[in-house]
């Protein structure tokens, strides 16, 4: 199936690994001109080579002005952005009582405000050209809060609200905005040393292997997602095949959240 993404300029925030990098690979395979981004220069260069991206940009998304500068550089170097995928973010285990005001704000700036700033930066060009696609990566925790990650859950719920808001406001301009809500995925966030599996293990008497087995078994499909499975849905939502899809929150969670919508 031709997704109609050939020569589309697609920019992905936080795309040096995991879901973001897999999305870059798939979009390049579809003929898109992809811009990858991240904070670490070596990882940006590596991701650019690995995915075959048109451009790699170093960007610290918590810095005001950084997303706007990213969009400007992408536009000047590759072309106006047709598809924006907001993927950057972080998560870690903590109890509600121990999360400080500063930690709440840190996650809000990265997980929400970087999305707001990136969207604001692409809107003028998309409106001028009569359309565009925005996909925001949320989480199952945005639909059903994780008690072990309270501030992460709240920020991901905000991403869902932001996605619907942007969809409602800019549909008349031909701009589509959707969210995806992945469940636990086999990326560094879970699998790396000190990642979520290790964090859960340290708070219990289980090994990291037991944690991962339990988390996988907790999905109706019985396993963690692979990053390319999330990336496939993101690419579809960017594509012409999803031309009548906007304001939605696509669950890509192996059946984790037991709701219909």
Contact 14, 20 (CB under 8 A): yes
| Beta sheet of 132-137, edge-to-edge order | 55-58, 33-38, 9-12, 83-86, 132-137, 175-182, 249-252
Task: Supply the DSSP string of 151-171, one letter for each residue.
Answer: HHHHHHHHHHHHHHHHHHHHG
Catalytic residues: 152
CB atoms within 10 A of CB 62: 19
Longest dimension (CA), the chain: 57
Task: Supply the DSSP string of 81-127, one letter for each residue.
Answer: -SEEEE---------GGG--HHHHHHHHIIIIIHHHHHHHHHHHHHH
> Residue 39 burial by CB count (10 A; 0-12/13-18/19+): exposed, middle or buried?
middle
Closest C-alpha among 157, 77, 78, 175 to residue 120 = 175
Q: What are phi and psi of 182, to 5 degrees?
A: -70, 150
CA–CA distance, 152 with 161 (Å, rounded to integer): 15
Region class of 187: left (phi > 0), else alpha (psi between -120 and 50), else beta: beta
């Amino acid at each position: 199936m031709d997704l109609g993404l050939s020569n589309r300029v697609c920019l992905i925030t936080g795309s040096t690994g995991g879901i973001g990098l897999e999305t870059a690979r798939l979009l390049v395979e579809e003929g898109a001109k992809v811009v990858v981004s991240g904070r670490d220069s070596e990882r940006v260069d590596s991701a650019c080579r690995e995915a075959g991206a048109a451009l790699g940009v170093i960007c610290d998304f918590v810095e005001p002005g950084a997303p706007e500068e990213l969009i400007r550089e992408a536009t000047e170097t590759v072309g106006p952005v047709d598809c924006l995928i907001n993927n950057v973010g972080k998560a870690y285990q903590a109890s509600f009582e121990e999360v400080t005001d500063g930690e709440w704000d840190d996650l809000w700036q990265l997980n929400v405000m970087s999305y707001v700033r990136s969207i604001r930066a692409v809107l003028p060009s998309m409106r001028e050209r009569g359309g565009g696609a925005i996909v925001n990566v949320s989480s199952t925790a945005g639909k059903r809060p994780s008690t072990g990650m309270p501030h992460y859950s709240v920020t991901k719920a905000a991403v869902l609200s932001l996605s619907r808001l942007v969809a409602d406001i800019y549909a008349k301009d031909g701009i589509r905005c959707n969210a995806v809500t992945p469940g636990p995925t086999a990326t560094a966030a879970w699998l790396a040393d000190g990642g979520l599996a290790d964090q859960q293990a340290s708070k219990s008497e289980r090994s990291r292997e037991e944690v991962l087995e339990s988390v996988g078994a907790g999905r109706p499909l019985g396993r963690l997602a692979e990053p390319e499975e999330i990336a496939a849905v993101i690419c579809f939502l960017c594509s012409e095949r999803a031309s009548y899809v906007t304001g939605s929150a696509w669950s890509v969670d192996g059946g984790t959240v037991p709701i219909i919508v």
